[in-house]
């Protein structure tokens, strides 16, 4: 249990220990944790189901899905979103599983949009986006992140196990045509799997103007096979790209603790990002909380600290009681995810079940 400095923290923090703050969360003011981090970003998982089986996320066969009655309804999700907005949440991202598999998801987007957020985004594997993009944009969605881990059709199919590269590239075009821009492209980089395509993806970013975000492989695969030597560090990714096209760091906006560090090509031909969750954790500025498809509030991808808001919703609880669950969840947040701590334990739920 070492003392480390988490980037963005003013003081060194100790990972892996419960928060030392008082047990009860404040009952007014913004959604703050015991380290003073104010939470303004809500990730909503709308389903744990997926039509892909990406190697870094889901097992190939035998995935147990949540029974339908355990999944929050649109009304329940929209109510939690409204309460979160009243507590200062300004941005919402829909995710999953594959969010576009949820029937009539554009209706949910419209219900949440009605609450009035500064930003509404969605992360998708691209399935159905070509069809749904106009409806989603009409419902109030602002932009999408589309996952794509290879520009080589056979490799794409091997990594994602299902799905097809041409469909995902068409989804990017459809999103832009519908005004869901800027399109960001999420690439999970794994050593010996697709790390030889980092420069190809940088060329793709330059050619298309899309922000390609290289994501370090995190220990959230359902198979539990994550090994540190499969992680390709942001430093190596930036080194490979920078050797071909010099890069300049783009300073983060003061009010935007987005996890991606953004770099522009020095010749002005676009930008790329790195999400260095493993090698450069950004926990010190984390402003996120998560709502799982079955109505648990989580304060971190890597923490098993979950509080059921569904129980409150389904037992006739008031908005104040819903707010109390959100407040207490945030209050219990640890200073860091602890991946690099010797005592790190993987969370019991994998990425598709939490909502990435
Ligand atoms: N199904 C949608 C998709 O694939 O974009 C949304 C959900 S997915 C869980 C959200 C993001 O998490 C995707 O960009 C995916 O590549 C990423 N992801 C999943 N498992 C990961 C892992 N073990 N490490 C890093 N990123 C991961
Ligand atoms: Fe499905 Fe997204 Fe996980 Fe791939 S990363 S298995 S598309 S939820």
351 CA from centroid of ligand 1 (Å): 7
- Residue of the CA atom closest to atom 1 of ligand 1: 98
pLDDT on residue 17: 38
Which of the ligands is closest to the CA of residue 102? Answer: 1
29 CA from centroid of ligand 1 (Å): 32
127 Cβ contact partners less than 8 Å away, ≥ 6 residues apart = 51, 52, 98, 100, 101, 163, 167, 171
* Surface-to-core class of residue 143, CB atoms within 10 Å of its CB (0-12 exposed, 13-18 middle, 19+ buried): middle
The domain segmentation of the chain, as residue ranges, is 41-354
Where do the DSSP E strands lie in 40-149?
A: 41-45, 91-95, 119-124, 143-147
331 CA from centroid of ligand 2 (Å): 29
pLDDT on residue 5: 32
pLDDT on residue 15: 35
Q: Confirm whether pTM is higher than 0.75.
A: yes
Per-residue pLDDT of the chain (356 residues; tens, 9 = 90+): 333 233 333 333 333 334 445 579 989 989 999 999 999 999 999 999 999 999 999 998 888 899 999 999 999 999 999 999 999 999 999 999 999 999 999 999 999 999 999 999 999 999 999 999 999 999 999 999 999 999 999 999 999 998 899 999 999 999 999 999 999 999 999 999 999 999 999 999 999 999 999 999 999 888 888 999 999 999 999 999 999 999 999 998 877 777 889 999 999 999 999 999 999 988 889 999 999 999 999 999 888 889 999 999 999 999 999 999 999 999 999 888 877 777 777 777 778 887 77
pLDDT on residue 14: 35
CATH 3.20.20.70 fits 41-354, yes or no: yes
pLDDT on residue 339: 79
The structure tokens 């419960």 sit at 18
44 CA from centroid of ligand 1 (Å): 14
Which of the ligands is closest to the CA of residue 124? Answer: 1
- Residue of the CA atom closest to atom 4 of ligand 2: 54
56 lines ligand 1 (CB under 6 A): yes
């Amino acid at each position: 249990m070492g003392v480390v400095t988490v980037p963005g923290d003013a003081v060194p923090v100790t990972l892996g220990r419960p928060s030392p703050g008082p047990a009860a969360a404040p009952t007014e003011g913004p959604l703050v944790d015991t380290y003073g981090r104010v939470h303004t970003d809500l990730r909503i998982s709308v389903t744990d189901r997926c039509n892909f089986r990406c190697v870094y996320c889901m097992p190939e066969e035998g995935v147990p899905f949540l029974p339908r009655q355990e999944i929050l309804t649109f009304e329940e999700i929209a109510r939690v979103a409204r309460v979160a907005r009243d507590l200062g949440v300004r941005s919402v991202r829909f995710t999953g599983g594959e969010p576009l598999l949820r029937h009539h998801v554009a209706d949910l987007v419209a219900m949440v949009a009605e609450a009035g957020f500064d930003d509404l985004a969605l992360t998708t594997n691209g399935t159905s986006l070509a069809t749904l993009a106009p409806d989603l944009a009409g419902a109030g969605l602002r932009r999408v992140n589309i996952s794509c881990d290879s520009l080589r059709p056979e490799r794409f199919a091997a990594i994602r196990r299902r799905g097809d590269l041409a469909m995902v590239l068409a989804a990017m075009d459809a999103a832009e045509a519908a005004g869901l821009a800027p399109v960001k492209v999420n690439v999970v980089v794994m050593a010996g799997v697709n790390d030889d395509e980092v420069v190809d993806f940088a060329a793709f970013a330059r050619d298309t103007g899309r922000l390609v975000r290289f994501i370090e492989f995190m220990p959230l695969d359902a198979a539990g096979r994550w090994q540190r030597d499969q992680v390709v560090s942001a430093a190596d990714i930036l080194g490979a790209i920078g050797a071909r096209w010099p890069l300049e760091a783009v300073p983060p906006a003061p009010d935007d603790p987005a996890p991606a560090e953004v770099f522009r090509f020095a010749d002005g031909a676009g930008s790329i990002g790195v999400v260095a969750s493993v090698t450069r954790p950004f926990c010190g500025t984390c402003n996120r909380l998560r709502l799982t498809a079955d109505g648990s509030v989580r304060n971190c991808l890597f923490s098993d600290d979950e509080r059921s808001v569904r129980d409150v919703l389904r037992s006739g609880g008031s908005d104040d009681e819903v707010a109390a669950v959100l407040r207490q969840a945030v209050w219990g947040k640890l200073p860091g995810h602890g991946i690099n701590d010797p005592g790190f334990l993987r969370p019991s739920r994998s990425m598709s079940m939490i909502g990435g």
